[in-house]
Amino acid sequence: MVAAGQPEAPRHPAGVPGTERTVVGVSGPVIDARMRRRVGLAAAVAGFSVVAGIAAGAGAVQAQAHVTVDIGARDPAFSPDGSTIAVSILGKIWTLPAEGGTARQLTDGASWDTRPAWSPDGRFLAYAARSRQGADILVRNMATGGVRFLHGVPGSVGHMQFHPDGSQLFFVDDRSQYEAHVWRIPLAGGEAEQITHTRSWHEWSFALSPDGNRILLETGRFDGTDLYELDLEEMSLERVTDTPEREMAVAWSADGTRRAHVMTHNGLDQLIVSVPGWRKQFLSTFDQKQLAFHPSGEWLLVLGGRRMQRLDLESGEFTPIPFEARFEVAGDPADDLLITNVRLFDGTGDEAVPGSAILVRDGRIAEVRTGEDGGVPEVAPGTPVIDGGGRTLLPGLMDNHYHYWQPLAGADLLAAGITAIRDPGSAIQDAMDFKDAVRLGVLAGPDVYTAGPLIDGPAGYHPLVDVSIDDPAAAPALVRALKAQGVDLLKAYFLLDPDVLAAVVAEARVQGLPVTGHIGVRTGWRQAIEAGISGFNHIRVWRDFLPLETQADGRDMSLDGGRNPVGRMQADWREIDPASPEVMSLLELMAETETALDPTLYIQDVDDGDRVRFSIEEFHTARQAYERMGEFVRRAVEAGVPLLAGTDNVGLFNELEAYAEAGVPNAAILRAATANGARWLGKEDDFGTVQPGRRAHLILVDGDPLADIADLRNIDLVVKDGVIVFGGPPTEPLIP
């Protein structure tokens, strides 16, 4: 049977393109090799029909294309002679002349490559290749191009530097934001040796002395970090700085006479350079700087905002170091796409309409026909047509609380039907790199809408991904700096004082940035709503409803000094009645002001497998608290509060099923994972619903998620910008 709008396919002898073949589980003709490139090989095994006609002489559609970038640099390292800079640009290692110019790509493949380090003789370049399982330290022979494995770590690799005699490589084993320590390993291979051992602290940057006997490093816990000098022979320590601020990004000149580092205070970076006879300071915006002395010692490379500058140490003048890096990417298919015979939930209402058809053209939805009498749009010969077989078609899903800290997670997210994420807190350098890499086609993944760093008060809880501020007057400059670096929203964190939060929100409104908040320690929700905040993360409402002496105050890893029965519930929810007039008044205010709720409900759940972590009393307290949190979410939806489905990286399907268990209607759940997130960003005319003009982010589901939300797990097809990016469910879900 040929789908409507398609000509009868001519018969061909066996072995000639166009021959019909049969594959188990597929009804109808099977697409040929060229069409596989057009609609995705996996579509042929998804269990639905793909019917296509190909014009005679049509060439391969998946052509190669190129994109050129002049931003996205990180981790600069000079060659020993100072003529060349090795740098990571959007996950690959490149080299370019020290004065700037055209970059030459050194690495390729599926890994995300960072942290280049030259050997003292310039013969070798070490770098970190991050995979989904961890990261490998690889060493490249610059003469032959050969690469060998040196060491692997379970997390990621931070700063790297060769010992001056070339015999060892020093590196940061970055296992978490609280456990990042300096190690060393012989270049010839062997066992790696850990040098710093502090628990729940971190050392992210370091610099070796010219003789290799001492190491200058930053170390700290939570927000504050200081600089120390460690004697590697005697293992004795000398403090270099002693401030409550964050001191970081250390550099040491090759002759040992000059040092530099960055101190961040109130959302501003202070670049501090010490040379014999003087000490200079340069004030600039916060942009996650990295520093490297030129081997001559005459100038300092300053990388900030993913661009490079040359700081002349004599004159104090900054000069840009421009570059261009040309990536080869797959060209987008130019074909239209027609999907017929589906039950359409378009994200605008409560029902799904059977017998619907959707035409995609140039990556956007061109036409929607609904109902049995709606007919099928006319298409040109050769247009791929997918018979949905009565399955449910929905907008692509959006996780409104996903921290994109693993760059190679994008394929798994797409396989779970997630075509967009809202990242409410990542290091600004990572956040913008991952966002750009996906946007340009360098990296597979959902569209990224990012807040960049958390904006927090002093002694912030997430030192790797926050920026601290305690002065309302400093808020406008910080907000403008983050906007200039490309963030899509802002995230306020729980140690912000009310007046500082209000100043952040006020400037964000001027800049057109929505603000979401994980707050409730220093500032209550009602206070934040009155200041104009756009939404809340989690369900941290104790500031509004509990006595001060029982509230979380941000102390230690429990966030409340261990006062509450279950650590990190951060309040005893048995004392909060979701049906009380006080709670309902807050929810009505949220609904009136359209202040959204991203509850991350599932992450608070405990089940029988958690009993070993708790006492009997703690376990039952946690269960009761979770049930009340679920009731809070249900009542919020009933009151008209916009619900945003977000997970904090624990699985979108789990989160949606938690809403259903709490009594939230399935249609509201589906909108929380589709249309609501786009609307919160002010992009409802661009994506989030299946309507003409919207981007073609679509998922085809075997089942009816309006009847059973768990049917969303049965994804047969994912389309992003009109391109099929996933065409059949794996044997086991990649995302829970």
Q: What is the pLDDT of residues 686-729, one digit of tens each?
A: 999 999 999 999 999 999 999 999 999 999 999 999 999 998 43
Q: Predicted confidence band at 631 (pLDDT cuts at 50, 70, 90)?
A: very high
Q: Predicted confidence band at 35 (pLDDT cuts at 50, 70, 90)?
A: very low
Residue type, 486: G
- Quote the pLDDT of residue 381: 86
Residue 246 pairs in a beta bridge with 225, 264
DSSP H/E element including 501: helix 498-511
Mean pLDDT of 121-147: 97
- Quote the pLDDT of residue 51: 39
Q: Predicted confidence band at 145 (pLDDT cuts at 50, 70, 90)?
A: very high
Pairing relationship of beta strands 259-265 and 246-252 according to DSSP bridges: antiparallel
- Quote the pLDDT of residue 552: 65
* Three-class SS state of 542: helix
Q: How far is CA 573 from CA 540, 576, 610, 624, 644, in A?
A: 10, 5, 18, 8, 22
pTM above 0.85, yes or no: yes
Please state the length of the chain: 736
- Quote the pLDDT of residue 16: 27
Residue type, 131: S
- Quote the pLDDT of residue 567: 52
* DSSP state, residue 707: T
pLDDT for residue 58 is more than 60: no
Spell out the domains of the chain, with CATH numbers in brackets.
Answer: 67-328 (2.120.10.30), 394-404+454-684 (3.20.20.140)
Tell me how far apart the alpha carbons of residues 303 and 312 are, in angstroms, rounded to a whole number.
Answer: 14
- Quote the pLDDT of residue 221: 78
Average pLDDT, the chain: 86
Q: How far is CA 599 from CA 255, 595, 666, 678, in A?
A: 54, 12, 16, 17
Residue 616 pairs in a beta bridge with none
- Quote the pLDDT of residue 557: 58
Residue 516 pairs in a beta bridge with 491, 535
Q: Predicted confidence band at 198 (pLDDT cuts at 50, 70, 90)?
A: confident
CB–CB of 675/688 below 8 Å?
yes
* Three-class SS state of 446: coil
CB–CB of 143/162 below 8 Å?
no
Residue 371's CB is within 10 A of a number of other CB atoms, namely: 12
* Three-class SS state of 394: strand
Residue 276: exposed, middle, or buried by beta-carbon count in 10 A (0-12, 13-18, 19+)? exposed
Mean pLDDT of 275-297: 94
Tell me how far apart the alpha carbons of residues 731 and 382 are, in angstroms, rounded to a whole number.
Answer: 32
- The dihedral region occupied by 673, where left means phi > 0, alpha psi between -120 and 50, and beta the remainder, is alpha
pLDDT for residue 680 is more than 90: yes
Q: What are phi and psi of 528, to 5 degrees?
A: -65, -40
Tokens describing residue 315: 């004159």
Mean pLDDT of 160-185: 94
Q: Could you tell me what percent of the chain has a pLDDT over 90? A: 71
| Higher-confidence position of 62 and 97 | 97
- Quote the pLDDT of residue 732: 34
pLDDT in tens, 411-459: 999 999 999 999 999 999 999 999 999 999 999 999 999 999 999 998 7
pLDDT in tens, 594-608: 999 999 999 988 888
pLDDT for residue 550 is more than 80: no
Q: Predicted confidence band at 555 (pLDDT cuts at 50, 70, 90)?
A: low
Tell me how far apart the alpha carbons of residues 94 and 108 are, in angstroms, rounded to a whole number.
Answer: 10
pLDDT for residue 19 is more than 70: no
* Three-class SS state of 397: strand
- The dihedral region occupied by 389, where left means phi > 0, alpha psi between -120 and 50, and beta the remainder, is left
pLDDT in tens, 500-537: 999 999 999 999 999 999 998 889 999 999 999 999 99
Residue 250's CB is within 10 A of a number of other CB atoms, namely: 21
CA atoms within 13 A on the CB side of 548: 2
- Quote the pLDDT of residue 614: 78
DSSP H/E element including 633: helix 616-639
Q: Could you tell me what percent of the chain has a pLDDT over 70? A: 86
CB–CB of 322/306 below 8 Å?
no
